[in-house]
Chains A and B, each alone.
Chain A
Amino acid sequence: MTLTETHAPAESAASPAGRERPAGGGPAGVLARLWALRGGRTALVTVAVLVLVALTAPWLAGLEGQDPNTFHDTLLNSATGGSPDGAFGGVSAQHWLGVEPTTGRDLFARLVYGARVSLGVAVGATIGQLLLGLLVGLTAGLGSRWADALLSRVTDLALALPTFFFSIALLAVVPQSFPRPLLLGLILSGLGWAPIARIVRAETRVLREREYVQAAVLTGAGNWRIARREILPGLVAPVATYTAIVLPQNIVAEAGLSFLGLGVRPPTSSWGQMLSTATTWFQVDPAYVLVPALTLLVCVLAFAGLGEALRVAFDPKASVPVRQRRARREAARPVPSTKDQAR
């Protein structure tokens, strides 16, 4: 994958800047290059809006004048088994996206509060995976031969595990009293760190042979200092790109497990949990199903687009909007080796 071709962002500043490409390294440079890609801009804005929704959930629900847990029995039609009265699942000025069947809880409020859980679990799990992966990968890459051999075997084993079945099983074994969002975050990070560790180890071993790192070794710097000052900056591009691939996978994983009824449970809402209760209603009240399904879809697609754009933006050899050359270079690129989604 291109990750191995990409090095320190500092290099992108050193390479001759294309005409169309905003020059400069560092976070600002990458952001500028991201913005220059049409797809990157759309994805970035969508993701920003979703994050903003999650952060301002109580305020948004307050604006609508509803909260996610109040029952509204009067809005339901008891003749149909509790489906909401009115068109599109009971959309009205008070309930912007209608109400939930059988309980009458406000869907908009549940959706915006659900964003907190969905995104929160995914971000938490991703941070956990990153920390574990960096720790294992750096130790294997910089440590002794024995440490490397041991950790590499452990990583191989972790990659070979049927992670999805393990997470189902773990969710079943841990008692219900344990807070579910936290548990989901722990399980996802505990089972998903291996690909990152592998990338970090490979990159570290390449960087370790570089002259500037050798120079640091000669000055007598310790392993920790070398990892922090010399290696980590070089890992930013590959790790950031991979994070953008992993984050939507974590969103899907949380949604999937909650959809199966094993993750977040009511009254707490997440998009997967909403979808889980909604699937039995898709004939009577399709709006109820489509609201969480489409939100989830838009969110995942935005993150996927962001990951794709980030990969291009971090690539020092890409002259950003020039299509022909990018296509030719992409042709030579094998697919990113991400772990498959569970089907």
Chain B
Amino acid sequence: MTRFLLRRLFGAAAVLVALAALTYLLFYAMPGDPALLACGKGCSADQLAQVRHALGTDRPLVQQFWTFLTTLVLGHGYSTGPSTIWCSAPCLGYSYQSNEPVTQMLLERLPVDVSLALGSAALWLLIGVGTGLFAALRPGRRRDRITNAVVLTLGSTPVFIMALLLLMGACVWLQVLPFPNYVPLTEDPAQWAQNLLLPWLAIALVTAAGYTRLTRAGVLETLNQDHIRTLRAYGYPERRVVLRHAVRGALPTVVTVAAMDIGMVLAGAVFTETMFGLPGLGKLAVEAASTVDLPVVCGITLLAGALIVVANTVADLLHAALDPRVRI
């Protein structure tokens, strides 16, 4: 197990470094001058050279990348005229638009995504595992086929259309809910849940489909095994055989996939946030992209990549812990 653990962690670290290099190359080594973007309109040649020097884009590329990495790990001092500003440890630079430190901007947005991920994960697990069991109790029958069709339809629906239909249905036609307006959990838990209900539903309905299939397949596979035959021979009620014992067969994969999906939502649910106006990482990414705010875009891409890599590693380790056959 230790060797497996070490190998997975090493692999994850390698991917993270490669990710940082790619992200850096993509944005700062592109044609088009970051200094010009940072300096803004009406920038004189003198100012431009100054900005270029401050950003370090007048130095060779390898050196620039090295500074970028050390800045990320150790922090970096920026001289702005007489005084020096110290940007501490995970330093991602400053936004071209608002001049705020990017790390702080990202940390401010993260609670929204945590709320979004945890709530929707609870819902999609409930819906997905529930419908999967429902279908698996009578394989091949009508309820199985109908569940299958509904799940395929929901799972193929783009999330922005799902969000749009939910918004129009609940807030305009039925008027059962007010338009969502994010309230932090620490301020008012009831308001927090009420306002996040539609976003949670939108993500959960689109995501649950995969879990229905996983649960159904896992349960049906386990039902063919010997220990289930023994339980049946002892006269256990079928419902109990399925709900107590066959579910376990589906568990490792469901947990693994859930860990990966939670990582994806944590990294920013771009469409859901844009549609419902939630101030999370995804919305920040779109805003930054449309104003070409390079440090912010770069920071979000890195953070999203890191979150996804970490989630995948956690998923792998969980899978190995739950299912010893995976460890090699």
> A residues bordering B, Cβ < 8 Å?
156-157, 160-162, 164-166, 168-175, 248, 252, 255-256, 259-262, 275, 279, 282-283, 286, 289, 293, 296-297, 300-301, 304-305, 308, 323-324, 327-328, 330-335, 340-343
Q: Out of B145, B221, B268, which one reaches A331, CB within 8 Å?
A: B221
Top 10 closest A-B pairs, CB basis? A331-B220, A327-B140, A172-B289, A304-B156, A162-B304, A343-B269, A252-B158, A165-B301, A165-B304, A169-B297
CB contacts (< 8 Å) of B312 on chain A: these are 160
Given contacts A164-B270, A171-B289, A175-B32, contact A293 B301 (CB under 8 A): no
Q: Which residue of B lies closest to A303 (CB)?
A: B156
CA distance A335 to B159 in the complex (A): 20
Q: Are A328 and B213 closer than 8 Å at their CB atoms?
A: no
Q: B216 contacts the other chain (Cβ, under 8 Å)?
A: yes
Nearest-Cβ distance from residue A21 to partner chain B, whole angstroms: 19
CB contacts (< 8 Å) of A173 on chain B: these are 26-27, 30, 32, 292, 294, 297
CB contacts (< 8 Å) of B185 on chain A: these are none
Q: Out of A166, A259, A328, A333, which one reaches B140, CB within 8 Å?
A: A328
Q: Scoring B residues 294 to 318 as 1 if CB is less than 8 Å from chain A, else 0, what string do you get?
A: 1001101100110011001000000
Q: Are B286 and A279 closer than 8 Å at their CB atoms?
A: no
Q: Out of B172, B305, B308, which one reaches A282, CB within 8 Å?
A: B172
CB contacts (< 8 Å) of B260 on chain A: these are 340
Given contacts A165-B268, A168-B285, A259-B271, contact A332 B308 (CB under 8 A): no
Q: B207 contacts the other chain (Cβ, under 8 Å)?
A: yes
CA distance A165 to B290 in the complex (A): 13
Q: Are B214 and A161 closer than 8 Å at their CB atoms?
A: no
Give the dominant DSSP class at A's interface: helix
Given contacts A162-B308, A164-B270, A331-B139, contact A169 B158 (CB under 8 A): no
Among B145-177, those with CB < 8 Å from A are: 145, 152-153, 156-161, 164-165, 167-168, 172
Q: Are A341 and B206 closer than 8 Å at their CB atoms?
A: yes
Give the one of A156, A157, A160 with max B CB within 10 A. Answer: A160
Q: Out of B19, B207, B217, which one reaches A161, CB within 8 Å?
A: B19
Give the one of A174, A300, A308, A340 with max B CB within 10 A. Answer: A340
Q: Scoring B residues 25 to 36 as 1 if CB is less than 8 Å from chain A, else 0, what string do you get?
A: 011001010000
Q: Which residue of A lies closest to B179 (CB)?
A: A283
CB contacts (< 8 Å) of A333 on chain B: these are 217
Q: Are B160 and A256 closer than 8 Å at their CB atoms?
A: yes
Q: B137 contacts the other chain (Cβ, under 8 Å)?
A: no
Q: Are B153 and A301 closer than 8 Å at their CB atoms?
A: yes
Q: Are A166 and B289 closer than 8 Å at their CB atoms?
A: no
Give the one of B30, B164, B207 with max A CB within 10 A. Answer: B164
Given contacts A157-B15, A162-B305, contact A262 B289 (CB under 8 A): yes
CB contacts (< 8 Å) of B304 on chain A: these are 162, 165
CA distance A259 to B18 in the complex (A): 30
Give the one of A255, A293, A296, A335 with max B CB within 10 A. Answer: A335
24 inter-chain pairs at a CB distance below 8 angstroms, sorted by A residue, are: A160-B305, A169-B301, A172-B297, A173-B297, A256-B271, A260-B286, A279-B164, A282-B172, A296-B161, A297-B158, A301-B157, A327-B140, A327-B145, A330-B217, A331-B220, A331-B221, A332-B217, A334-B217, A340-B210, A342-B264, A342-B271, A343-B206, A343-B264, A343-B270
Q: B22 contacts the other chain (Cβ, under 8 Å)?
A: yes
Given contacts A160-B309, A166-B26, A173-B26, contact A343 B203 (CB under 8 A): yes
Q: B103 contacts the other chain (Cβ, under 8 Å)?
A: no
Instruction: Taking A157-B15, A340-B210 as given, write out 16 further A-B residue pairs in contact, using a Cβ cutoff of 8 Å, ordered by the A residue number.
Output: A157-B18, A165-B305, A172-B290, A173-B27, A173-B294, A174-B30, A252-B158, A256-B270, A260-B270, A286-B172, A300-B156, A327-B139, A332-B217, A332-B220, A334-B217, A343-B271
| Residues of B in contact with A, size category | 35 or more
CB contacts (< 8 Å) of B259 on chain A: these are none
Q: Are B26 and A170 closer than 8 Å at their CB atoms?
A: yes
Q: B272 contacts the other chain (Cβ, under 8 Å)?
A: yes
Q: Scoring B residues 265 to 285 as 1 if CB is less than 8 Å from chain A, else 0, what string do you get?
A: 101111110110000000001
CB contacts (< 8 Å) of A162 on chain B: these are 267, 301, 304-305, 308
Q: B288 contacts the other chain (Cβ, under 8 Å)?
A: yes
CB contacts (< 8 Å) of B264 on chain A: these are 340, 342-343
CB contacts (< 8 Å) of B298 on chain A: these are 169
Nearest-Cβ distance from residue B205 to partner chain A, whole angstroms: 11
CB contacts (< 8 Å) of A300 on chain B: these are 156-158
Q: Are A341 and B152 closer than 8 Å at their CB atoms?
A: no
Nearest-Cβ distance from residue A176 to partner chain B, whole angstroms: 10
CA distance A194 to B158 in the complex (A): 22
Q: Are B214 and A289 closer than 8 Å at their CB atoms?
A: no
CA distance A262 to B288 in the complex (A): 11
CB contacts (< 8 Å) of B301 on chain A: these are 162, 165-166, 169
CB contacts (< 8 Å) of A335 on chain B: these are 210, 213-214, 217
Nearest-Cβ distance from residue A341 to partner chain B, whole angstroms: 7
CA distance A169 to B282 in the complex (A): 12
Q: Scoring B residues 215 to 226 as 1 if CB is less than 8 Å from chain A, else 0, what string do you get?
A: 011001100100
Q: Which residue of A lies closest to B207 (CB)?
A: A343
CA distance A29 to B298 in the complex (A): 50
Q: Which residue of B lies closest to A262 (CB)?
A: B289
Q: Scoring B residues 249 to 273 as 1 if CB is less than 8 Å from chain A, else 0, what string do you get?
A: 0000100000011001101111110
CA distance A225 to B165 in the complex (A): 52
CB contacts (< 8 Å) of A248 on chain B: these are 156
Q: Which residue of B lies closest to A326 (CB)?
A: B140
Q: Scoring B residues 224 to 236 as 1 if CB is less than 8 Å from chain A, else 0, what string do you get?
A: 1000000000000
Nearest-Cβ distance from residue B206 to partner chain A, whole angstroms: 7
Q: Which residue of A lies closest to B268 (CB)?
A: A165
CA distance A64 to B161 in the complex (A): 28
CB contacts (< 8 Å) of A174 on chain B: these are 30
